[in-house]
Structure 1
Amino acid sequence: ARLVVRHLKGAGIKCRIPIADQLSLFYKMLPAEKLDVMDKNWIQKTTQNGLAECLLGVDSFVGSKIGFFLGWGDRFDKHTDLESAIRSSRDFVLFHPFLANQQIKGSKTRSPHCLITGDTGNGKSFLAKLLYTYISFMDIKSLYIDPKKEMRKWIRKVISNPQTRKDFPLYIKHLEKYHFITLDHEKKENWGALDPVSFMPASKAKDLIEVIFEQIYNFKDKDTVSTAFLRAISNVLERKERGDQVGSLHIIYEMQQHKNEIVRDAGDNLFESVKDSIMKLLIHDGSNPSLSLTERMTILEVENMDLPDFGERIENFTKSQLKSSAVMFALGKFCELFGMNAEEKTAEFIDEAWI
């Protein structure tokens, strides 16, 4: 050791010979270094200021440096008004909805899913609608499920503002392209909007038709009725494949004209269950157009739904809740088909996702 000290001194380098414990003590103080049973005297307490001097996490950067501007991050909790919070904020937030979808190096998924949560009144819906607005500028097919019917109200307010129309004519022109649909069974033009026979390929419609009808009729232990019902589905879907104008209502028509009286009674029961109810959205004769799977910007509103509380047992559902659940099954299948084409980019927003 002394030879090394002399050699380095000749090169102008100061060198010291440590005492026995110094070298081990140095390593024991490094972050994440394991301590042995005999190392307890080397554990040193420190203050938060002392810990900060270790320069852990010196960079506050999180996420991506590209994207749409959403707002500012407020580091402090002492602000009582928005303006002072904005003035003291230096961390702006950017969001790129398709960053993970383009196989960028380091991304973990090709299909990003976002969840916006928070207390009532904290701006969840506003953020969702802001993101939807940004996405609508892109060449992306988008669907927004809006059960509270807020989007139409906000867009209408902007479009009807004379100053906004004057200052931002291109933006107004863009907003006027939004395609609003209200699923309201009390309006005749909506009947059949979610009819599986109309909006689904015939090869995939059968299972959903069964689920929908099972919400309003108990087919268990009724083999004759069940067999006739399944045969009627097949017949109607075959007619659709041949180019006939048919809908789920024709399944009921076939059952009403069946030679077996029990099947005819079941058909009459189904017809009465559908009449003047929300089921008209799902079961119609095919004369109305169904929801479009090709519209570029669709805002879908849902009216007069009676949904059960989350976690409620299905045997406790009322008839009205069962019918509303049937609508949700069809709506879920529509969303699934809407985003199924791998050749096109799609985005779906579900406001009030608990539904």
Structure 2
Amino acid sequence: MKFPVKFINDNLIINYKNECFVYYHLKDYNYGYLSEDEKMRIHNMLNEIFTQHNSSDVHMLVIGAESSISNMNESFKKEIRGDLKDIAVEHIDDITEELTKKYGKNQVKYRHYIGFKLNTLIEDINLKNILKELKLGFIDFANSVNSMFINDFTKVNSVDIEKYKKLEKLLYKRVNKRFRLEKITSKDYGYIINHLYCKNKCAYEDYSYKPKPVELGGLYDILRLSDSFISEKEKYLKISNDDNKEYVSYLVVSNVTSELDFPGSEILFDEASLDFPIDVSIRFNVLQNKEALTKVRNKSKELKDLDEHILTSNNDSSSSLVDARDNANELEAVLDKTKESMYKLNYVVRISANSLETLEERVSTVKDFYSDYKVVVERPFGDMLNFQYEFLPASEIMVNDYIQYVTSDFIASLGFGATSKLGEENGIYIGYNLDNNKIVNIKPAIAAQGIKGSITNSPSMAFVGATGNGKSMLSDLIDYYCALLGSKLLIIDPKSERGNWKEDLIYLRDHINIINLTSDIENKGLLDPYNLFDLKMAETIAVEILSYLTGITIKDSKRFPVLKKYISLISDGNNPCMTKIVEALKNSDNEVAKEIGIHIESFVDLGFSILLFGDGETEKKIDVSKAINIIQIEDLKLPDKEIEQKDYSSMEILSIAMLMVVSYFAVEFIEDDRSVFKISHLDEAWVMSKVQQGRVLVNKLVRVGRSKNSGASIATQSALDLDDDAKNNIGMKFVFRSTKIEEIEADLDFLGLEVNKENIDAIKNLETGQCLFQDIYGHIGRLDVDLVFSDLFNAFDTRPPMNKEGEENV
């Protein structure tokens, strides 16, 4: 049997018949949780790709390769920087060991390729062309002789190559309008052929191949890609390479017993749920309407004759035969009415395993999988090598016994290129995708680097959902890993839930700084803006804080100018501080100023207000030089979310003012030192969203990080707590369970999902520790958070002690 591939040049590939194909990689597109209208839009775009080209032969190829968890983490370890590198490397090794126990050594990753046969241009027949064709004929004859003796190499005329490249450019413009199609290179062809022949088993990202030129003009080594020992049995192939041995079997679709409903028939998308990789080859040729009608009418006649024969034998027609006749009649009517083409299709599935026992188990599983879609697959005897060749790029349909005649709608309904992929190839392991049971990794800093394919350049993250469903657990996990990888963290902890980290994360004890802001006299003025910021910034923040405490807005033409005047007056003096502002207002001859000063003074005597009102002389500074810095304010009293702002108590108002100052400090933190990635974590952000000054501050916290190699981590109870400016600048989004319809609808809008019963139920039915996750590429899926180690779970568990007893880790 002659090896089909003859020549590779960039994304061109020529077979032994001198037919030229061109292949593209179809970029994965998110398919999970889309509306029916959106799925239909994708279906129609795929349909256009199949119907608007001029190729008579199209090849859809799905390659499912196993990528090593160990290799994945080894490559990630090379990216680690910072003082905690040794701890991080040891930790990742421990994770690798645990994930291997849980998932096995490998994970499945699919790549989708689509190939078209290029039609040759019809040239004018003249003497010059005749002479040129004679010359090319002699070259082809010489090549065929050479190939008999030098079977590894073949020469292809450069004139043909240039002609095919021009045709490829025209085709690419036509088919690339709807989907992101990448022109593949020789690397992809080498990877596909090596994969099919069980050679050089590694992840695509780690694979390299470049055709080896032998002489100028284009001699390339191709056969070495498939240099394997193949033993063909009736039901499988045994493929051997050095110490590696695999068993490969092929299944082919022999019958589609009923029409596939769309949406709901995306077989290629649903195959990702299998816990082992498979490959799929779908080849189809266009049949013009007239030829297609003839085929269908002949088929109808065959079915009718078969049905009549059964009746004459006093037997009843089977239901499948009746359905087949109905489908044939319906298809004939459609073709007659629409004048559309049909497609002659061969659909083959490739299954491989390291042992015969495993191979048989996988074959049985795949048969059951297709049976659920009313699709019959068979395992032909004696044709395994033919199907091996049929999978190769630029090959052809090798076995014609299982041809199916379908419309373009059938092909577009299969879900080619659809994915539920989440996260990065390697990175911080945060859990697994419940929709396909695959590992989910993230890299919080990567969005700001303009990664190809991402839909955002924001490294900020948002965690939304009702209290007690796992927001803090996941956000703390990500913070923890970022610190290990060399990032700096500032965590604003208004409920003082992280005071145990030094004890529970003992190996990070020297790198954790818990700043517990108490009302002790030695902390006087610690949060005074003039103690934390430069003079200009301090004056601005003082205006914001005192305006909020007194309820004075910029629209108050009587009081706001007075307040602003006295703040500026103190700012221009020696050792400015908040206490001096209050004294200047209170002792003023201006009655309005005096009234404002007395109002503010009523706050000064409240508990921890000593932090906010310094004397300008004795204040110490907040140190955030360590990897993990946690700011906690003792006795902070946050209002309930349901309470209106006008009903806040004086302590609640003062608590929010404190949070505002700390949040401004967080903004300054992330603006410092662009060489280090920084995260500023604001917990209970809904409190800030209740006041205008707070909303502006949250927006700034999210927006500033994009240009400062920094990200904000915002945890709140609903997307309703974030305004449009903040939501538009969030990169990764984590939506946990909620039961309030209004909040669920806002969360779905935040994710860009349609508000329908299915998606509402998806959020309602999430369990504790589960969320809908949208990564920086726009992919959405159900994430099950996995902390792996009990010590991390215990450190990040914020439940009251009475709720922890006797419960298993989630």
TM-score over 0.5 for the pair: yes
| Residue 678 (structure 2) aligns with | 346
1:254 partner letter: A
By how many angstroms is 1:251 displaced? 1.0
Whether the aligned pair in 1 keeps the contact of 2:431 and 2:439 (CA below 8 Å) is yes
Quote how far apart the aligned CAs of 1:327 are: 1.9
For structure 1, which runs of at least 5 residues remain unmatched after alignment?
1-14, 27-34, 77-88, 160-171
SS of the residue 2:500 aligns to: helix
Match of 1:65, SS state, is: coil
Query: Alpha carbons of 1:125 and 1:40: their partners in 2 closer, same or farther (altered >3 Å)?
Result: farther
Partner of 1:283: 613
Partner Cα distance (1:290, 1:176) in 2: 20
2:634 alignment partner, one of 303, 309, 313: 303
Give CA deviations for 1:313-332 in whole Å, capped at 9, x if unaligned: 43333323322222232223
The answer to whether structure 1 residue 20 and structure 2 residue 351 are counterparts is no
1:117 to 1:155, Cα distance in 2 relative to 1, 3 A: farther
Please tell me the residue identity of whatever aligns with 2:584.
E
Partner of 1:62: 422
Q: 1:228 to 1:109 in 2, by over 3 A?
A: same
Equivalent pair of 1:192/1:290 in contact (CA under 8 Å): no
2:457 is equivalent to residue 110 of structure 1? yes
Counterpart of 2:510 in structure 1 is 176
Q: Secondary structure at the match of 1:252?
A: helix
How far is the alpha carbon of 1:55 from its aligned partner?
6.1
Q: How many Å separate the matches in 1 of 2:604 and 2:336?
A: 76
Query: Which residue, out of 526, 547, 567, partners 1:193?
Result: 526
| Displacement after TM superposition at 1:209 (Å) | 1.3
Equivalents in 2 of 1:102, 1:54: separation in Å? Answer: 35
Q: How many residues align?
A: 299
Q: Contact 1:195–1:281 (CA<8 Å) still a contact in 2? A: yes
User: Displacement, 1:143?
Assistant: 0.9
Match of 1:30 in 2: none
> Partner of 1:315 in structure 2?
646
Q: State the one-letter code of the partner of 2:648.
A: F
Distance 2:582 2:636 in 1: 24
Whole-Å Cα distance in 1 between the matches of residues 434 and 466 of structure 2? 18
Task: Tell me if structure 1 keeps the 8 A contact 2:603–2:650.
Answer: no
1:81-128 deviations in whole A, cap 9, x for unaligned? xxxxxxxx5x22212111212233333333222223455444322221
Letter of the 1:307 partner, please give it.
L
CA distance in 2, matches of 1:263, 1:24: 95
Deviations 1:10-62 (A, max 9, x none): xxxxx999772617999xxxxxxxx99945999xxx97454899464576543
1:184-263 pair list within 5 angstroms: 184=518, 186-217=519-550, 223=558, 229-239=563-573, 244-260=574-590, 263=593
Superposed displacement of residue 200, structure 1:
2.0
| Aligned equivalents of 1:199, 1:141: Cα separation in 2 | 19
1:67 positional shift: 0.5
- Report what 1:334 is aligned to: 665
**Please, which moves more after superposition, 339-348 or 93-102?**
339-348
Contact 2:289 2:335 in 1 (8 A): no
Return the offset for 1:134.
1.1
**What's the CA shift for 1:252?**
1.5
Q: 1:57 to 1:258 in 2, by over 3 A?
A: same
Q: 1:295 to 1:41 in 2, by over 3 A?
A: same
Question: Does 2:488 correspond to 1:138?
Answer: no
Q: CA RMSD in A?
A: 4.1
Residue 222 of structure 1, CA deviation:
8.8
The 2-side partners of 1:267 and 1:24 are apart by: 94
Distance 1:122 1:296 in 2: 27
Paired with 1:222 and 1:297, the residues of 2 have a C-alpha distance of 44
Whole-Å separation in 1 of the counterparts to 2:336 and 2:529:
70
Q: SS in structure 2 opposite 1:108?
A: coil
1:99 to 442, 446, 461: 446
Shift of the 62–210 alpha-carbon distance from structure 1 to 2, 3 Å rule, reads closer
Q: Which has the higher contact order (CA 8 A, sep 6+)?
A: 1
How far apart in 1 are the matches of 2:530 and 2:524? 13
For 2:504 and 2:540, locate their aligned partners in 1 and report how far apart those are by CA, in whole Å: 42
- State how far apart, in whole Å, the 2-side matches of 1:235 and 1:16 are: 83
SS at match of 2:610: helix
Evaluate the alpha carbon distance shift between residue 61 and residue 271 of structure 1 in structure 2; reply closer, same or farther with a 3 A threshold. Answer: closer
* Distance in structure 2 (CA, Å) of the matches to 1:250 and 1:140: 38
CA contact (8 A) 2:603 2:654 kept: no
Q: 1:68 to 1:217 in 2, by over 3 A?
A: closer
Residue 523 of structure 2 aligns with an amino acid whose one-letter code is N
Whether the 8 Å contact between 2:495 and 2:636 is mirrored in structure 1 is no
Judge which range, 335-344 or 124-133, deviates more: 335-344
In the superposition, relative to structure 1, how do residues 106 and 252 fare at CA in structure 2: closer, same or farther (>3 Å)?
Answer: same
- Partners of 2:533 and 2:673 in 1: how far apart? 17
Q: Secondary structure at the match of 2:458?
A: coil
CA–CA distance in 2 between the matches of 1:16 and 1:218? 73
Map Cα deviations across residues 189-243 of structure 1 (whole Å, 9 max, x no partner): 33322211221221123332123223343558794x755543332232223xxxx
For the residues of structure 2 that align with 1:111 and 1:201, how far apart are their CA atoms?
27
Structure 2 alignment gaps of length 5 or more: 1-284, 297-333, 342-370, 376-409, 688-810
CA gap of 1:268–1:118, structure 2 versus 1, over 3 A, is closer
Find the aligned partners of 1:346 and 1:16 in 2 and give their Cα distance: 56
CA distance in structure 1 between the aligned counterparts of 2:432 and 2:540, rounded to whole angstroms: 48
In structure 2, C-alpha distance between the alignment counterparts of 1:36 and 1:258, rounded to whole Å:
91
- Asked if the contact 1:70–1:94 (Cα under 8 Å) also holds between the matched residues in 2, the reply is yes
SS in 2 for 1:298: strand
CA contact (8 A) 2:526 2:612 kept: yes
Q: 1:306 to 1:122 in 2, by over 3 A?
A: closer
Change (3 A) 1:203 1:276: same
The alignment partner of 1:283 has SS state of coil
Which residue identity does 1:22 align to in structure 2? A
CA contact (8 A) 1:129 1:151 kept: no
Cα distance change, pair 256–25 in 1 and its aligned pair in 2 (3 A): farther
Give SS of 1:70's match.
Answer: strand
SS at match of 1:181: strand
Contact 1:70 1:93 in 2 (8 A): yes
The alpha carbon displacement at 1:179 in A equals 0.9
| Cα distance between partner residues in 1 of 2:592 and 2:680 | 44
Letter in 1 for 2:680: E
Q: Distance in 2 between matches of 1:350 and 1:17?
A: 61
Does the residue aligned with 1:215 lie in a helix, a strand or coil? helix
Q: Which residue identity lines up with residue 332 of structure 1 in the other structure?
A: S
Q: Does 1:157 align with 2:504?
A: yes
Q: Which one of 597, 600, 603 corresponds to residue 270 of structure 1?
A: 600
With structure 1 as the length reference, what TM-score do the two structures score? 0.68
TM-score for both structures, normalised by structure 2: 0.33
Are the equivalent residues in 1 in contact too, given 2:495–2:632 (CA < 8 A)? yes
